[in-house]
Amino acid sequence: MPELPEVETVRRGLAPAMEGAVIARAEVNRPDLRWPLPERMAERLSGARVLRLGRRSKYILADLDSGETLLIHLGMSGRMQVSGDPLGMFHHDHPAPQKHDHVVFHMENGARVTFNDARRFGAMDLCPTDAVAAHPLLASLGPEPQGNAFNDAYLIDAFAKRRSPVKSVLLDQKVIAGLGNIYVCEALHRAGIAPTRRADRIAAPRVAALVPVIRDVIAEAIAAGGSSLRDHRQADGELGYFQHNFRAYDREGAPCSQPGCGGTIRRIVQSGRSTFYCPACQR
């Protein structure tokens, strides 16, 4: 599933074609994705101007001049593809319609934004903009890892209350919004913290040191366009390339990249997910 860096990359790619532009016509080709789509969705979107494209955790938020906000979740395989942008940002002509093109935004500026999702695990919803923070999908989310609310004191307090393995705590969206398996593995490897260690048993200075590590991993991944392992592509169709910078994730059996370590990356399973770490330098 796309994590924060992939979703932020897609949001930035959509902005030149959608932000400030009018949705001349919204085309909704099925009644549902993961859940039923909003009633009269095509009608409510057609003619609306996109005032702002934001992001909260793994959700793209399009604030409309109609007073509603469109929430978009990419799911496992969802893609937002831009074509025909008159601003010259995208060189792709409009492709022929595909089987899994479920929602299409025909923009007044000539761009076309297509949501394609073969597995239909994605989701879209409409809600009043002034109530978006209370939406059931967003209301319980923790702070953004690059926001001011995510700081040393916050994470130390959060860890002190949790007896679960640190990896499980970092994956909890109520603790930190947007982190997923890839970037938690990478951050813990850089910080030298074993993913199996109980969160409440990690000394406060080590927890504090984890905060800038998480920020750096996320920033580097966004700069690289995210990680393309299977389905992720940027809005212009290009792949992300942070996967070439992995130090732990998906490197089972490879030498540890930490200078002077000499260990080997191992894979274990935690809560049904693969965890990659170095037992020599992560403690």
Distance CA 271, CA 140 (A): 21
**Catalytic-role residue among 52, 206, 247, 273:** 273
Instruction: Say whether 128 is catalytic.
Output: no
Distance CA 239, CA 22 (A): 28
Q: Do the Cβ atoms of 208 and 157 come closer than 8 Å?
A: no
Instruction: Say whether 43 is catalytic.
Output: no
Q: Residue 93: what are its φ and ψ, rounded to 5°?
A: -70, 165
The one-character DSSP state at 49 is B
- Residues 263, 267, 273, CA angle at the centre, nearest 5°? 150
Tokens 């982190």, residue located: 179
**Catalytic-role residue among 11, 58, 79, 251:** 58
Q: Residue 196: what are its φ and ψ, rounded to 5°?
A: -90, -10
Q: Closest by alpha carbon to 156, among 191, 193, 206, 212?
A: 206
CB atoms within 10 A of CB 206: 16
Instruction: Say whether 2 is catalytic.
Output: yes
- Residues 234, 240, 241, CA angle at the centre, nearest 5°? 170
CB atoms within 10 A of CB 107: 20
Q: Give the bridge partners for 50, in sequence order.
A: 64
The one-character DSSP state at 244 is G
Instruction: Say whether 273 is catalytic.
Output: yes
**Catalytic-role residue among 2, 5, 16, 145:** 2
Q: Closest by alpha carbon to 223, among 2, 1, 3, 8?
A: 8
Distance CA 158, CA 171 (A): 13
Catalytically annotated residues: 2-3, 58, 273
